Every structure is written in structure tokens, then in C-alpha cells.
Structure 1
Amino acid sequence: METWMNSRRVLIILLCMLSLALVSCSSKNSGGGAAKIRVVNVIPDAAAISLQLNTDTALVNALPFQGLTQYLSTGTGSREFKVSANGGTTFAIDTTLSVGANNYSYIVFAPVASAQGLLVLETGFTTPNSGTFNFRVINVAAGIGAVDVYLTVAGADLNSTSPNLANVGVGAISGLVAVNTGTYELRVTAAGTKDVIYDTGAQAFTNNQATYQAVIFTKGSSRLPNVALLNVDDAGTGQVNDNLLAEFKVLNASSVASPLNVLVDNNIVLSNIPFAGISNYVTTSAGSHSFA
């Protein structure tokens, strides 16, 4: 009887030790819970990027330019973010960041030769009042500089309107502003000016008490950016809204007698360009136009 009791005590001790070992291993592997990361590729000369964390299997493979994932689960703790571009075997970005059990967006931007990554925390926002939404701006438009951002009724005169968010510098994340839900035209200007460099037309911002993030980035132009609108929701949804503006300039190398006038859609937009002269940039709507 005593032998059986002793054996039972040994078995209980072993089971307890096994239980502790399992808890310890589980805690080590999870790092206190999973992180969720959305990846956004706005490197203008990277047709595709891949992201690997530590030595794990790649979190993202062949994500195209202007591509964005939804939230992807990964481990927490100190994580090495390694980004390769265009199928390369070297890393355009290789940096170690601390990741908690939160939601994030990881935005990769700037040309491949000087690529950067920005890890944006998307957990812990204060819920806005009913009938409003949170809005903030993330400016990664290298080469464009600081910007002002407007949410207005369609066609509103910016000359009599103050920006919702002003002077957001490159690499900066603005604070949150509360805006009434509704349909708005999203426009971006160079900071301190009314010079519109981005216009998306009317967009619905109708999710009550939601949080929206406008990521401003370059798309092969040093003046005209694009915007990715990221929703801070359970899935990590979002979309890229293309700029409705385009720019052009004219070099007069024609055999037409100087000076040269240029018509777009039968309207004179440039006049008196001398031979070998170069005009300033002219802003017009993106799309098909006739030039004469």
C-alpha cells in the first residue's frame, strides 16, 4: 500500500512538472499573444516586395506596388524585418523592431536604394463620438515634403477653408481628428498653400465611430502623390484611391514658327513658348485628352 502511495506521489509530481514545462514552452513561443500586421508596399520602383520576420517563412511574397494585405498573424517580441524587392536575394530593409500583441501596419516606402519601413501602431484608439469618425494622415511621400489635408464637401473652395490636418511632414504620423460622418472630397496641398496636388473626388466616410488613415505616397512623380486609405477594423481592410490629377510640361522643338501655343481639349493652356523653350508644369485631370 505504501509503495502504491509513493508511486502515486511521484506520478503527480511528474505530471505537475510536465504541466509547468508545457506552460513555459507555450509562453515562450507566443510571446504573450499574437501580433497582427498589415503590409503596404509603396516603394515606387519595386514591382513586388517580400517580407520575412526573423528566420520564419516569408510573411508576404510578391506584394505588388500599391498592394496592401489585410492583417496577418505573427509572433511578438523582438522581430527582424527583412524586405527584399523585385525578387532580389539581398534585403533593401533589414531592421529589428519590437512587436507587441497589437495590430499594426508596416509601410515600406521610398526608392529601393534608400527604402524605409514604418511600423504604425493601430491599437488603443479612443472611440470617437457617435456620428463621427477618427481621421489621421501618414505622410511617406518622399520628395514632396510637408502637406495639408482637407476633407470637404465636393467642390468646396479651399481658399476659404482651413485644412483638417496641417503641415504633416514626410515620415510623420499626424494626430487624430474627429470628423462628422458623411461624403467628402479628399484633397492634399503642399503645406501652407492652396496648390492641390491630390484630389480623389467624393468619397463616403459613413462608418460611424470608425478610424481611417490616409497614407500619402509617391507614384513616380515628385509632385503628385497617391493615397492609400486604411481602415482600422478587425480585418485590416483598405484600398488605394488614385489621384484624379495629372501634370505635363512642353518642350518646343517643333518646326512651327515661334512662339508656340498649346491647346488641350480645344482650350489654350500654354502660350508663347519660344523655340527650345520649356514650359512650367500644368495641372489637368488624369485621363485621355487631345493636344494641339
Structure 2
Amino acid sequence: MSVAESDQPLRIVVLGERTGGRLVPGELPEPDRRFHRALRYLRSAAWVIRDPQTFGPDALDPAAASSVPRGYRTDGDWIWPVALEYYLEHHGVAPPAELLELMAERGYYAPRAHADRCGQAHQALLPHMPGPFEPPAPMQFRLPPDVYDLLVTVGWQPGRDESARVEEWAAGQGIELDAARRQILSEFGGLTFPVYGYGRDWRVMAFHLLPNGPLGDVAGPLLPIGSVPQWKSQIVLDPRRGIATVGEVERYLGRDIDEALTSLIRGQAVG
């Protein structure tokens, strides 16, 4: 079973919302046969945001180290924070009754949410403020929050350094990397970005950054750094102007890699 894009609104779990703003431990204890089945369902659903570097405090065990993970999953009907999985596993805090009923109807196996539906879930989370029992997004000023979230979901993190891999790849291709391209690929190289929702000015497409994807062949001063397969286009760095796509679809993406990633992830033209 799978769930594709839909006009059906997604419901978002807010921990404590149905219990007067508090968590109730022991609602679904481990001896209950639904405990492991519900946990399996929650953990098998598709990621919407996965932030493996960010944790928050355990509201039911204040003395414990920060251990509540940040992230969100979806089954195509509901979105829940992975904090729900944590509080169920460690304290027996139950999911909402309606979600538990849906799990039972599906035999406690989450359907596969298609990329477009995950994109709709990502859009639904944009105006959502984290509940009091969810870790907030880390404080950072470099990237828009939605762009940061997708980057960490696909494997980037602040301080990421893939320079050794990139240099090995470049040597194998007989390429001499200039400083600007080396800097971009050392931080973002090798990432693949999924089709993830609806763009503001064009429909978002999957894209790859080298060494992932084809190297391509571009002329003049343009330096390839990635590709957008469905556009049959290369992502290139122009040392004088910035970053753009060339090929069947040609778009200016921004002055630097941060602007370019924002444009591609949001499907948004540079103003």
C-alpha cells in the first residue's frame, strides 16, 4: 500500500494537546500487545524531516541528558514528531486514539508515502510551531529554516567536509578543481535531493551534486557542480555571475551555493 499526493489535509500530532498540555506516562505500557506494534508503525513511516544532530530534554525525566530526537515522519494521513516515538518507547505515552485506530486498520504497517505526499507534509509543517515536548530547530542564521531542514534530512550538517572524497573523485576524472568549486563540493558534494513537494515558481525536481550524478560537458568558463536529471540540465558555477542550470532548462539560481540550494529546494526564482 502506498499514499500518493492528495488534497486530503494532513493531521499533525502535537504531544500533550489532547491531555491538557501534559504528557501522561503509562497509557500504552510495554505489556500491552499494541506497544511494539505501534512503535513499529511509527518507525517504519517515511521521513519528512530528519535532524540527527538535534536533541531536546526529556520532560518526564528532567535529570536525563538531552535525548529526545528532533524530526517528523508521515504515513500520508498523519504527521508526527519523532518525539512521539521516544515518549512511547521510554514512558508509554500513547499516540492519539484516532491514529492508533488507523494503525490497527492497517495491521500496524505504515504505508509508503510517495515523495510528493512527503513534500505536502513538509509544506504543512512550514507554519507549524513545535509543541512544548518537541526539540525546536537549532538556532542558525545561514539558511532559511525549511531549506536547513531538507539539507539535514538528506545528510548535510554544519561543518560537513567531504574534501577527501571529492579530491579522489576529481583525480579519477582528471579534473583540476578551482578553489570555488572545491569549497562547494567539499561541503555539499555527493548529496542527492529528492522530489519534495511544490515549488513557488516551478515544480521542484530531484537534483544531485557531484560526485553524484553525471559530470556533463559544458563549455567556456562554466564549471559543473551537479545535475537536474528531469530537466536534462547541469548545475554549473560561473565564476563571474554565480550558479545556474544549463541544458534544456536554463535558470539562474543565485550568487552563491546557499542561494542556489534555496532556489532549487523551494522551486523559487531568484528575485
Q: Which has the larger radius of gyration?
A: 1
TM-score calculated relative to the size of structure 2: 0.24
Higher helix residue share: 2
TM-score calculated relative to the size of structure 1: 0.23
Structure with the bigger RCO (C-alpha within 8 Å, sep 6+) is 2
